Every structure is written in C-alpha cells, then in structure tokens.
Homo-oligomer: A and B are copies of this chain.
C-alpha cells in the first residue's frame, strides 16, 4: 500500500482501551483522533501495522508498539503502557462496526471535529457493549458481581456510577471553554461549542449538541442541534428521534429561549421564545396574532417549523396556545459563559 493512502482516510486514531476477560473491547480512549489525516506519521502507521484498506481496528503487538515509540515523542505513552493499544483506520464514513471505531467517532464529535448528524452513527447501539462504569474503571457487566463480592471481602470500595453503553464525555474529552456542572449528564459523542455552560439539570446526548456559547439547563435529546446564543431553561425538553418522539430532528436557531419546564416538538428559527411551562408539540394548533395583538388565523405548530422571531405562549385567560412576533431578543449573561 502506497504512503499517500493516508490522505484518503476518513479518520484515524491510536487508542488505549479496556478489554474484558475474553479479550473483547469495552471502551477505547483516543487522546488525539484525526479526521482526514494528512500526517506523514499516519502513512508510516499504514505500513507498520499492515493496514489493508476499508475499516480496520488493529490491536498492536509488542513489536508494533516498539516501532511506534520511534515515530515521535508524542507516541511514547502508547509504547510505555501495558494496557491494550489499538490503531483504528477508517477509509470511509461507514456504520460503526466495532467498539474501537465507534469510540473513535464519538471522540470526533466531542473534539468538535465533526458536527452532530454529519457522520454515520447508524446501528451504534448494537455495536457498543453494556459496561459497568466504576471507580476502578470500566468492567464487563457479566464480570461485575464477582468483583463486587471480592471488593467487599477485601474492604475495597467499589462504586458503580453507570450501567450503560455510553460513558460520560469528560472522562475522554474536555473541550475548551465549557463548564459542565454534573458531568454524568453529558455523554461521550456530545458536541459542546466554546462558551457552553451545562447546568446540573442540563443534559446532552451523543450525536447532539450546541454550537456555543449556550446556556443548557434543559435536555438536548438525540439528534438535536442548538445554535449560538440560545438558552435552554431548567428542565426544558427537546423531543429526540430515538424514543417517544416523532421523526423530525429538532433544532433551535440563534438567540432563542426555551423557557424553564417548557418543551419543543418542532424546529425553531432564530430569536424565538417558548414561554416557561409550555410544551409545543408538532400537532398543537396555534392561534396567530399580529403585531397589534389581533388574531389573524390558526395554524398547526409544524407549519411554523424553522421560522424566526416568534414568541409562543399559552394565553393565561383562555388556555389557547398563541404565536406572536417576539419583541425582545434574549441575551446570555456574559458572566456565566465568558470565564469558562
């Protein structure tokens, strides 16, 4: 294989991971994932590791690790560890096929190298194993009960913080300029732009995210995208495409406010406000008011998808959901974002 092959790769990563007792991967950490790499080093790796094209996750042997150390000082860590090391080559953006390449893609998202919805993540639930995430590291769920008894016997604390396919992002990637008040609520594969503050009630799923700066005190469900300057209020909900919602990917434009405990079932344009406590579903029938407060017509919320400058509220006197021109645009509190 020729050395210029690296330039046509979709992605490459060298990772350190964890395997269960049967040698199956549980998770992989990639300190420096590469998208469309043009590094000379990657070309060297293609030769050294025997990459033959397509998708390959190659567990490196002692000789290969030895060779790695010679490529450059930044690879010394991989050569020095006795943890399993893997090299992932992805010629194309195909569906995840194994744990290492699925984790590489999750890293690309959280490193802000690709935006949510722009790479192929289909079928990832089938590829990722369910893992017990403990204070002693990741453990195969099937091996947990034995470890629990052993730790109890020895008086060694063992705490299990998650039983899940997706780890928390911050154990792998902490992008610059963010605050995350409760890191257990941001999955690896979430995209957090600079200036993002995720408060305790905020949540961001994998393959979803916010452009930054943003205040996130609500839930950014699967496939949801939020543009800069938008504030998701405490406990607010965005409908995802995986469970319970419909199949319209939700997005919010710039400088929107989704009020506390509000919810959103349609995409919004810029400068929109959803009043605190109002859940706007796609099927809601909405009374349209003009700038003078006069009723002009009734529309389905879905017909307003993507429109800018709208304020949605429930009339507190007659219970109707109303939509009117949004007079005040919101502004984030710079103190909460500029010093992240």
Contact = CB atoms under 8 A, between A and B. Distances in A.
Interface in A162-203: 162-166, 168, 170-172, 174, 178-185, 187, 200-201, 203
B174 A81 contact: no
A260 B244 contact: yes
B263 A335 contact: no
A61 interface: no
Query: In the assembly, how many copies of this chain are there?
Result: 3
Nearest to A29: B152
A219 B242 contact: no
A179 B155 contact: no
B279 A242 contact: no
B130 A179 contact: yes
B203 A203 contact: no
B145 A162 contact: no
Interface stretch (A4-12, A40-48, A86-94, A310-318): A310-318
Nearest to A160: B170
Contacts of A277: 263, 277-279, 281
Given A163-B183, A340-B130, A153 B244 contact: no
A268 interface: no
Nearest to A332: B243
A16 B150 CA distance: 11
Contact of A164 (B145, B180, B221): B180
B201 A217 contact: no
A168 B152 CA distance: 16
Interface of A: 16, 29, 31, 77-78, 80-83, 125-126, 130, 132, 134-137, 141, 144-145, 148-150, 152-155, 157-166, 168, 170-172, 174, 178-185, 187, 200-201, 203, 215, 217, 219, 221, 231, 233-235, 237, 239, 242-245, 257, 259-263, 265, 275-279, 281, 284-287, 298, 314-321, 330, 332-333, 335-336, 339-340
Given A166-B181, A317-B321, 11 more contacts: A81-B155, A162-B180, A163-B170, A163-B179, A184-B200, A235-B261, A260-B279, A265-B276, A285-B316, A315-B319, A318-B318
